[in-house]
Amino acid sequence: MDSFSALSDPTRRRILALLGPGEQPAGAIAAQFDLSAPAISQHLKALREAGLVRVRVDGQRRIYSLDPTGLAEMDDWFANMRQFWSSRLDDLERALREEDGRRKTPTKGNRK
């Protein structure tokens, strides 16, 4: 599952928000939801496979944390999109101003 597919689910987005302040055991994450532990486990698996969280084993506990690598990849993608759209929107703004300027300039047959 890719990062964006993983984030399409509101439960997964909420899990990421819960992990923002720091790592948490799977049980503490599951306790925040009205879902079964196996359902949360599947969400955590999807986030792990997407590279958005990582897990470490501490005895019988699974401790989850955000994976900065996966998040950095998404941030890079967003930065590219911001740059792409910023230049396109600047071009559009320039074109609209030019069009507006042409409309305001009276032509020979249109002078008052």
Tell me: do 99 and 60 sit in the same domain: no
The CATH number of the domain holding residue 12 is: 1.10.10.10
111: pLDDT confidence band, cut at 50, 70 and 90? low
Most confident by average pLDDT, 30-34, 73-77, 93-97: 30-34
* Measured CA angle at 48 (ends 18, 1), to 5 deg: 115
In DSSP notation, the chain reads: --HHHHTTSHHHHHHHHHHTTS-EEHHHHHTTSSS-HHHHHHHHHHHHHTTSEEEEEETTEEEEEE-HHHHHHHHHHHHHHHHHHHHHHHHHHHHHHHHHHHHHSPPGGG--
* 84 within domain boundaries: yes
pLDDT at 11: 96
Tell me: do 61 and 81 sit in the same domain: no
Q: Is the pTM of this model over 0.85?
A: no
* 110 within domain boundaries: no
Tell me: do 7 and 61 sit in the same domain: yes
pLDDT at 64: 97
Tell me: do 40 and 24 sit in the same domain: yes
- Domains contained in the chain, number: 2
Q: Work out whether the CA dihedral 88, 89, 90, 91 comes out positive or negative.
A: positive
* 111 within domain boundaries: no
Select the more confidently predicted residue: 38 or 1: 38
* 44 within domain boundaries: yes
Domain that holds residue 29: 3-66
* 26 within domain boundaries: yes
pLDDT at 57: 95
